[in-house]
Amino acid sequence: MLSILACGSLFFPGLFYGLRKVLKSTFTHWNDADVVAVSERLVSSVHASLATVSGLVVVNTCQNVMTDRHWLVDSFVLFGAPYMLYDISAMYLTHYHQHRLGTSAAHQNHSLQTVKAFLRKERLLVLHHMALLLVFMPIVLFFRRGLGDFFIACFWMTEFSTPFVSLGKILIQFGLENSKLHWINGVMVLASFFTCRILLFPYMYWRYGRQFDIPLHSVPFHLPLHCNVGNLSILAPQVYWFILLVKKARRLYLRKGNAQGPKTE
């Protein structure tokens, strides 16, 4: 258990450090903010890819959604736990270097003020990471009595949209926000987010109902209240973030249409 935790503690910060070195030497015209931001997003994509693949493996293995076990579940929870603390640190570094780009803040050092500004800006993501670390991880490892590997793996598959979100931010950073690739990636962001972060919940209820011969609309009434409340508490921010993504996509589409203007003969 400790060895797996140690591997995760070394892997994610080590990958971040290595990517910063490579990007800094490869793209010599980039500033520190660019290097840190791209490195953070690449590591985030790696973690998301590992989580998605692990989730697919477990979901396709578990026939009984309640009792079937897979060794990947506890192992990946331990391996991925350090990522939560690492990612908060990496997000803070991105915020810090971007803040220093301003003329008046060019020589500003780390301070309580910059930490507070970061927490105000990224409060939802920080809360999300800490909840996974302090609530989700102990439940998975110690309190679920070996039940529900299938459902935990389903939650991992919500990370499928993360690489597309990261790629979109990287394309903007390269000045390619008006490119066809950015448009295609935006469609993939919306499709993957809606499929793996919203439709995933009725899929889990459907799999449970199919196993116990319960109609989908009746499944919530056959589950303990805390299961429904827990699912709702996870689903709610996903719906909120999806609405933000749709609004952003609509603004970009309208801005692009206005920039092109009406055609004249």
Q: Specify the pTM.
A: 0.87
Instruction: Note the pLDDT tens digit of each residue in 116-164.
Output: 888 988 888 899 899 889 988 998 999 888 899 999 999 999 999 999 9
Q: Cβ distance 148 to 66 under 8 Å?
A: yes
pLDDT at 92 over 80: yes
Summary mean pLDDT of the chain:
89
Q: pLDDT tens digits for 185-214?
A: 999 999 999 999 999 999 999 999 999 999
Cβ neighbourhood burial of 206 (10 Å; 0-12, 13-18, 19+)? middle
Predicted pLDDT at 263: 47
Half-sphere CA count of 249, side-chain side, radius 13 A: 18
**pLDDT score for 89:** 94
